[in-house]
Chain A
């Protein structure tokens, strides 16, 4: 990255923190958590820091705005010591719901290969520019469609945590990561003392990993999963959802299946109520019923990244701080607003216009701001959009 671009990014980040340092947040007890920063210019990671209070953290961030800021989910006896001497007392149960796991295809859609030499671009992840055989720069732009489906998974995760795992709503906090994912923290004494194995078991449960019953899907008459317990309820809801939105599932149901499902909707619903899959098979025929149940089962899984939840020593992006993948802040999303367009919640900063030269930018929207398409041109955009495009490597300040 060019020196003037880094200087520009630092000024945008500083502007954000001068306005919103009060939004910077570390869950209590602040003084027992490890804090880490990636610092400008080359985003070197500095870890194993600890602060006495939230005020101290905010002051630090205000005085030396970092590229990224992190806090540990674990609460340590000695957070400032090297890993082997920290000694975990307990740790938030934390989940990472990321678009790359939830819906890889929508990321592909927003992936471009841009040639740094001639500025030509192509869709997808291509190594070499065909014009000048220069190595391409691969960019993944944010996509609101990706964010929306990730938000939907987050919402489902939250519901399962409450209804199935019995976690109190007040112990759950959900955050938009500032880029393409959501983080969900569960803070409760009992849960906090669970070890790695138990956390692993929770993610397996949510994503249906290791379920032995699924082999009998569409074969045996009475599926345990229907009717009993949390997974059963989730499964039933997914079947209902398919029955109610048949047109979205034409690929597996085909025309006659869609019709059949619509005609028999009431009967299928009552079979579900009784937990009798054999009635569904009788109504739709084995082949169609199996397709329906399989798809519903796939959708019953809640997609989270297990390695993140399991790792007690993991650091998470600090709420209220900017994400250096996008220049947008990680921020708390009220549980009842997870479905809403999170980008519209981004607070106001960097609205002054600045001139940049953009190599390639597709048409896109960030919150209420429409950008692009640009191709090898000099344009004027708000400073925070300029920061986003520079961080993506497709623009430079003039």
Chain B
């Protein structure tokens, strides 16, 4: 329960302890829970991950209650970018725990009502069959070639995955479940003093973080091909782009003349942004680091290969995104 506070048992447990509306949270007993709830979000913003250790397991009552507190705080700030950042960090934490203990996986799948069937079992790994529609909805196909449906064993409406991969799919499902919950409308709820205080504190932490993200550079939307504008839009919304997607976008933006600073501001929108790593990767792509080789953006054929091509009528006769022009 403490490990996966979104599961049904945990919800019932919280229900016994206090009203889920959180309006009447008893402050004295739950001071710690509120603090931990705040920390969940704070760490998600600052470190892009939520620390979890045995201490949290022992104080599981606090741990379980701190989750709806965190969700509440995120809902109060009401910013999609923060929602994404928090849900991503929370889901990552669960995924790490699941891969440490594989026996958790089927239980969590059941809890999330995610259908699967064991197709072949082994000591090292199991092969599981998931429904095609679930695979397509929750698997990050764009996270690399091996996730693409064309590289999967697909038969009779089922897709085969290893249990490690299954944990990754569940991570996505958890992320969406949490995202959904942070979208609850909480305007008009009267907050207890301590929670109101934490909301103010979080608002200022978040305000600072957002201020560090410069207003993004303006590109003429006219001649940006749909594949690239789609990536930019997703980035702006705070979605978690895969490595391939980021590399593609950055190499394209560099080629059309964005400065490194402008690209960094855009990358700061990503829910697991890390200044140091991002800068390093950026410099690699632009050729300032490594062998000095500048990555050119992928051709249309490669974009199709990655599953990132979403052509419109102006794409008909071009072979490279840089050649895209809107004529009439």
Interfacial residues, chain A to chain B (CB-CB below 8 A):
163-167, 190-191, 194, 196-198, 200-202, 204-205, 208-213, 228-232, 306-307, 310
Given A198-B137, A310-B310, residue A164 in contact with residue B151 (CB < 8 A): no
Contact residues in B for A204 (Cβ distance below 8 Å): 148-150, 304, 307
B interface residues, Cβ below 8 angstroms from A: 132-133, 136-137, 141-142, 145-146, 148-158, 160, 304-307, 309-312
Q: Which residues of B contact A212 (CB under 8 A)?
A: 145-146, 151
Q: Give the distance in Å from the alpha carbon of A229 to the alpha carbon of B141 in the complex.
A: 18
Assuming the contacts A201-B136, A204-B307, asked whether A164 and B150 have C-beta atoms less than 8 A apart, the reply is: no
Check if B310 sits within 8 Å of A165, measured CB to CB.
Answer: no
Of A167, A191, A208, A229, which is within 8 A of B152 by CB?
A: A229
User: Is the pair A165, B154 in contact by a Cβ cutoff of 8 Å?
Assistant: yes
B residues less than 8 Å from A307 (CB atoms): 310-312
**A210-B155 contact given A191-B133, A201-B307, CB 8 Å threshold:** no
In the bound assembly, the distance between CA atoms of A203 and B229 in angstroms comes to: 22
> Given A166-B156, A201-B136, do A210 and B311 touch, yes or no (CB 8 Å)?
no
Assess whether A209 is in contact with B150, with CB atoms less than 8 Å apart: yes
How many A-B contacts if CB must be within 8 Å? 82
Nearest residue (CB) in A for B316 is A307
* Shortest CB distance A201–B (Å): 5
28 A/B residue pairs, CB under 8 Å, sorted by A: A163-B155, A164-B154, A164-B157, A166-B158, A167-B157, A191-B133, A194-B136, A194-B137, A197-B136, A200-B310, A201-B141, A201-B148, A204-B148, A204-B150, A204-B304, A205-B150, A208-B150, A209-B150, A210-B145, A210-B306, A211-B148, A212-B145, A228-B153, A229-B154, A230-B154, A230-B155, A306-B309, A307-B310
Report chain A residues within 8 Å CB of B136.
194, 197-198, 201-202
Classify the secondary structure of A's interface with B: helix
Which residues of the partner chain A approach B141 to less than 8 Å between Cβ atoms? 197, 201
Known: A163-B156, A204-B148. A197 touches B142 (CB 8 A): yes
Bound-complex Cα distance A127 to B141 (A): 45
Residues A200 and B307 in contact, CB atoms below 8 Å apart: yes
Q: Are A210 and B154 in contact (CB under 8 A)?
A: no
B250 to chain A, nearest CB (A): 21
Which residues does chain B contribute within 8 Å of A209, judged by CB atoms?
A: 150, 304-305, 307
Residues of B within 8 A of A190 (CB): 133
**Docked pose: A209 CA to B148 CA in angstroms:** 9
Most buried by A among B133, B149, B152, B312: B149
Closest to A199 in B: B136
Q: Given the interface contacts A197-B142, A201-B141, does A164 sit within 8 Å of B148 by beta carbon?
A: no
Cβ–Cβ < 8 Å partners of B149 in chain A: 201-202, 204-205
CB distance from B215 to the nearest CB of A (A): 25
Contacts of A194 in B (CB 8 A): 133, 136-137
